[in-house]
Amino acid sequence: MSLPEIIRGKVYILGDNVDTDQIIPAQYLTYNPAIPEEYRQFGKYALIGVPGAQGGLPKGHIPFHDATDDFVSPYTILIGGKNFGCGSSREHAPIALNAAGIKAVIAEFYARIFFRNAVNGGYLIPFETPFRLCDKVCTGDMLRIELASSTVVNETTGEVFHLRPLGDVAPIIEAGGLFPYAEKTGMLSPKS
């Protein structure tokens, strides 16, 4: 993944302590992300463990997928609260979100292993916010994340929010993950 200047899309809002079992439950870990058709399956089951994210619950719950595509969500950005990606250390969690079409996650803070898996694999961009952005934005709002200024513009409401800069993880994400970054910077010999 290269770092785009702008990430624009509809946002899906989650709360605190979204764990990796909610992001991709264990029964769907039999798929192999190295096989393109099976990689797609992770997108189909992304967030299936979050109550209401897959529909079938009372009014007010918005499904993460819609009827037009079972594999890719209409949402491009996720916003969570505290401790996003907690639970087990499965690297499949950021893979599932990426396969579902998520380009960026914004949270107050992340479980360390989720953050590292997202960055090391180059699957998505994990932004941090210094306040509860999940309480200020609604599912379905159109957002624009401007990477150079670390800002989020809610195009639906006109509000502008400031994120923490990506810092040292930006070049790793830009390179496509930890191993491509290590090759690019000479820490590893390029594959022959």
86-115 burial: b if 16+ Cβ within 10 Å, else e:
bbeebbbbbbbbbbbbbbbbbbbbbbebbb
More confident call, 88 vs 192:
88
Secondary structure E strands in 36-86: 77-79
Average pLDDT rounded to a whole number, residues 23-34: 92
Average pLDDT rounded to a whole number, residues 43-63: 71
For the cut 80, the answer to whether the pLDDT of residue 192 exceeds it is: no
- Confirm if 125 and 173 have CB atoms less than 8 A apart: yes
Alpha carbon 104 to its chain centroid, in Å, reads 5
Among 102, 116, 132, CA closest to 173? 116
pLDDT tens string 122-176: 999 999 999 999 999 999 999 999 999 999 999 999 999 999 999 999 999 999 9
Domains identified in the chain and CATH numbers: 6-184 (3.20.19.10)
Average pLDDT rounded to a whole number, residues 57-78: 79
Quote the mean pLDDT of the chain: 90
Interatomic CA distance for residues 163 and 56, integer angstroms: 34
pLDDT of amino acid 50 = 83
Average pLDDT rounded to a whole number, residues 100-123: 95
From residue 121, how far is each of 98, 106, 118 by CA, in Å?
11, 17, 6
pTM for the complete prediction?
0.91
Average pLDDT rounded to a whole number, residues 98-121: 96
For the cut 50, the answer to whether the pLDDT of residue 69 exceeds it is: yes
pLDDT of amino acid 59 = 46
pLDDT tens string 8-25: 999 999 999 999 999 999
